[in-house]
């Protein structure tokens, strides 16, 4: 293991990723941000200097942060924001996990404006899978807006209606795409350059490529495919799976998949497609062409568009994940018996002031001025029992819904989505077993004793369909306060977030580092 040092300066730049100029939040002038590629066991030092006009935090999506909960980068939960013209050192070690991850701002809907990038962790445990491909290639995809998230968010929350999430204007692959400037009239206020281009992925005949798909977007499910090339799925969210071949794969917000394509055609160009699943949108956007494309090219010199055709189109009638029964972890990890069970119920409600807010049970999250971790550690050390009582609704203030699991437990969490929308839920600090899930009905507890515990799928982000549910299980062995939320940018900010407190028996002995605490005094 080595120590990897990154010096990142965050700035606001004017660029046109798809031809349309806008302000983008960049890392060392780059959008998307640089690839962080490390080995398991490495210590990561990211010295982040904020030269933007707003405070920020950086989250390392999918990393456990075991023993360093305050490096999880969640504004108002694990730290205060890093103010403009201030530096902060993220310092953590990556243990017991490997695969495809990503990083993104976790302050408001900021990552919609940039501040996203891939994070790849290698491990000797991947050696047998490594035989299956010759090259390793990140494919970062995201939906894209031509306006700042702050403006879009304001419109969304103030609407007084449900289902008014901003619909993307475009989508990007590797931070670029074509956009048809004639979609905007000359008085639209946008500056559009007609020279935008699609990403190109050169391939060499007969070589095999591991494509690491990362959906770093804010709202849209991306259905990924490559014409004439099948996809062999080998990883989901940092969990290796038994290879399984598909023609297309839905990648929901914040999810990752590794798929292997074999360059088994003779020549020419083939479309790589990211079809935004329009079914998941609540309103249409006249400028959006939901078919996002890039080129897989056998001949670097050709610039012609591809003439390949799509796999047979399936009608998309929902926003669900890839059929979960297709995914079987490569390394067997049986789910232990749960010791505690909780039920949480996310929903959307038009509440006070006619604002459309996301709820877990009866609480809608609003960022607090003191991070929850700081409150919890101080409360535990003061012997204040309201911070150590286990159970649901441990409300530290009226907008913080904290489930305190307490000491070492194996937790079953049944998430009943009471909303008419589908939501990609992410739990920080853990990889959970997906014990059961469905897009309809309610979980039948009579089936509880016959659940597959031998080797259920494990991941960190799961789509729960409208009025659907999922039963997830995790070993609550990681001390800290961990966010559990829908990963749609608009829904995080609308409050569809709760927190899980685990191993508070260890947290009460914590000393939060002074430089982390100092951010709250700035
Ligand atoms: Cu990708 Cu709360 O995180
Ligand atoms: Cu959501």
Query: DSSP letters of 218-243?
Result: SS--EEEEETTB-EEEEEETTEEEEE
- Six token digits for residue 119: 């994070």
Domain holding 370, by residue range, is: 340-518
Q: Which ligand is nearest to the CA of 426?
A: 1
Provide the pLDDT for residue 319: 87
Going by pLDDT thresholds of 50, 70 and 90, the confidence category of residue 361 is very high
Q: Which atom of ligand 1 is nearest to the CA of 104?
A: 1
Q: Which ligand is nearest to the CA of 106?
A: 1
Provide the pLDDT for residue 190: 97
Q: Which ligand is nearest to the CA of 482?
A: 1
80 occurs within a structural domain: no
The residue-averaged pLDDT of 232-254 equals 97
C-alpha of residue 119 to centroid of ligand 1, in Å: 13
Q: Answer with the residue of higher pLDDT: 275 or 355.
A: 275
Ligand 1 lined by 59 (C-beta under 6 Å): yes
CA distance 278 to 286: 12
User: Going by C-beta distance under 8 Å and a sequence separation of 6 or more, which residues neighbour residue 450?
Assistant: none
Provide the pLDDT for residue 57: 98
Ligand 1 lined by 357 (C-beta under 6 Å): no
Q: Is the pLDDT of residue 400 over 80?
A: yes
Q: Is the pLDDT of residue 221 over 60?
A: yes
Count of domains observed in the chain:
1
Q: Compute CA 48 distance to the chain's CA centroid, rounded to the nearest angstrom.
A: 21
Give me the CATH number covering residue 351.
2.60.40.420
C-alpha of residue 115 to centroid of ligand 2, in Å: 20
389 occurs within a structural domain: yes
332 occurs within a structural domain: no
Ligand 1 lined by 61 (C-beta under 6 Å): yes
Q: Which ligand is nearest to the CA of 237?
A: 1
60, 165, 205, 246, 350 from 149: Cα distances, Å: 21, 11, 42, 35, 21
C-alpha of residue 425 to centroid of ligand 1, in Å: 9
ipTM of the complex: 0.99
C-alpha of residue 422 to centroid of ligand 2, in Å: 6
434 occurs within a structural domain: yes
Ligand 1 lined by 491 (C-beta under 6 Å): no
Query: What are the percentages of helix, strand and coil residues in the chain, rounded to 5?
Result: 15, 40, 45
9, 19, 36, 143 from 177: Cα distances, Å: 25, 8, 23, 11
CA distance 126 to 498: 34
The residue-averaged pLDDT of 336-359 equals 85
424 occurs within a structural domain: yes
The residue-averaged pLDDT of 23-36 equals 98
Question: Comparing C-alpha atoms, which of 459, 348, 360 is closest to residue 402?
Answer: 360
Provide the pLDDT for residue 349: 84
Q: Is the pLDDT of residue 199 over 90?
A: yes
C-alpha of residue 61 to centroid of ligand 1, in Å: 6
Please, are residues 408 and 477 in contact by the beta-carbon 8 Å criterion? yes
Q: What is the pLDDT of residues 49-107, one digit of tens each?
A: 999 999 999 999 999 999 999 999 999 999 999 999 999 999 999 999 999 999 999 99
The residue-averaged pLDDT of 20-42 equals 98
> Residue with the nearest Cα to atom 3 of ligand 1?
61
489 occurs within a structural domain: yes
440 occurs within a structural domain: yes
C-alpha of residue 390 to centroid of ligand 2, in Å: 27
> Residue with the nearest Cα to atom 1 of ligand 1?
61
Q: What is the pLDDT of residues 420-461, one digit of tens each?
A: 899 999 999 999 999 999 999 999 999 999 999 999 999 999
Q: Is the pLDDT of residue 392 over 80?
A: no
Q: Which atom of ligand 1 is nearest to the CA of 74?
A: 2
Helix or strand holding residue 258 (H, E): strand 256-262
Q: Which atom of ligand 1 is nearest to the CA of 461?
A: 1
Ligand 1 lined by 428 (C-beta under 6 Å): yes
The residue-averaged pLDDT of 24-30 equals 98
CA distance 13 to 504: 42
Q: Percent of the chain beyond pLDDT 70?
A: 97
- Six token digits for residue 86: 């201030």
Q: What is the pLDDT of residues 116-128, one digit of tens each?
A: 999 999 999 999 9
Quote the mean pLDDT of the chain. Answer: 94
Provide the pLDDT for residue 352: 57
Provide the pLDDT for residue 395: 67
User: Going by C-beta distance under 8 Å and a sequence separation of 6 or more, which residues neighbour residue 516?
Assistant: 70, 71, 79
Q: Is the pLDDT of residue 154 over 80?
A: yes
Provide the pLDDT for residue 276: 94
Provide the pLDDT for residue 193: 96
C-alpha of residue 493 to centroid of ligand 2, in Å: 10
Q: Which ligand is nearest to the CA of 461?
A: 1
Please, are residues 407 and 505 in contact by the beta-carbon 8 Å criterion? yes
102 occurs within a structural domain: no
C-alpha of residue 359 to centroid of ligand 2, in Å: 10
User: Which residues make up the environment of ion ligand 2, defined by Cβ < 5 Å?
Assistant: 423, 486, 488, 491
C-alpha of residue 160 to centroid of ligand 2, in Å: 17
């Amino acid at each position: 293991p080595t120590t990897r040092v990154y010096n990142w300066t965050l700035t606001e730049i004017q660029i046109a990723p798809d031809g349309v100029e806008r302000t983008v939040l960049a890392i060392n002038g780059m959008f998307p941000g640089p690839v962080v590629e490390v080995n398991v066991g490495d210590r990561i030092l990211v010295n982040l200097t904020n030269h933007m006009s707003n405070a920020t935090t950086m989250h390392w999506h999918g990393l456990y942060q075991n023993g360093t909960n305050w490096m999880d980068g969640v504004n108002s939960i694990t730290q205060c924001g890093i103010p403009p013209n201030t530096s902060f050192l993220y310092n953590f070690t990556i243990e017991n996990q490997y695969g495809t991850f990503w990083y993104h701002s976790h302050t408001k809907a900021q990552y919609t404006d940039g501040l996203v990038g891939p994070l790849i962790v290698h491990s000797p445990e991947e050696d047998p899978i490594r035989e299956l491909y010759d090259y390793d290639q990140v494919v970062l995809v995201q939906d894209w807006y031509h306006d700042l998230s702050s403006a879009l968010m304001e419109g969304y929350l103030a609407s007084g209606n449900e289902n008014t999430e901003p619909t993307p204007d475009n989508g990007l692959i590797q931070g670029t795409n074509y956009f048809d400037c004639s979609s905007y009239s000359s008085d639209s206020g946008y500056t559009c350059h007609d020279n935008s281009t699609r990403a190109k992925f050169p391939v060499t005949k007969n070589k095999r490529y591991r494509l690491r798909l990362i959906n770093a977007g804010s709202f849209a499910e991306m259905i990924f495919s490559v014409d004439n090339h099948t996809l062999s799925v080998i990883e989901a969210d940092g969990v290796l799976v038994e290879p399984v071949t598909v023609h297309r794969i839905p990648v929901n917000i914040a999810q990752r998949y590794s798929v292997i394509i074999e360059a088994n055609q003779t020549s020419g160009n083939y479309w790589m497609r990211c079809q935004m699943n329009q079914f998941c949108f609540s309103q249409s956007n006249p400028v959006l062409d939901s078919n996002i494309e890039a080129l897989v090219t056998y001949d670097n010199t050709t610039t012609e568009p591809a003439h390949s055709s799509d796999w047979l189109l399936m009608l998309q009638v929902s926003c669900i994940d890839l059929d979960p029964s297709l995914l079987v972890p490569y390394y067997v990890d049986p789910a232990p018996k749960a010791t505690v069970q909780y039920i949480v119920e996310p929903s959307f409600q038009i509440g006070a002031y006619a604002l459309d807010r996301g709820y877990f049970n009866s609480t809608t999250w609003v960022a607090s001025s003191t991070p929850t971790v700081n409150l919890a550690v101080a409360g535990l050390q003061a012997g204040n029992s309201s911070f150590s009582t286990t159970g649901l609704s441990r409300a530290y203030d009226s907008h913080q819904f904290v489930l305190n699991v307490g000491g070492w437990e194996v937790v079953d969490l049944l998430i009943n989505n009471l909303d008419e929308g589908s939501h990609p839920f992410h739990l920080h600090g853990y990889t959970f077993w997906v014990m059961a899930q469905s897009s309809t009905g309610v979980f039948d507890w009579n089936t509880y004793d016959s659940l597959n515990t031998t080797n259920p799928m494990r991941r960190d982000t799961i789509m729960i369909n409208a009025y659907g549910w999922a039963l997830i299980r995790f070993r609550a062995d990681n001390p800290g306060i961990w966010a559990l939320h829908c990963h749609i940018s608009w829904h995080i900010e609308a409050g569809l977030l709760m927190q899980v407190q685990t191993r508070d028996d260890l947290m009460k002995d914590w000393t939060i580092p002074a430089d982390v605490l100092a951010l709250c005094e700035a």
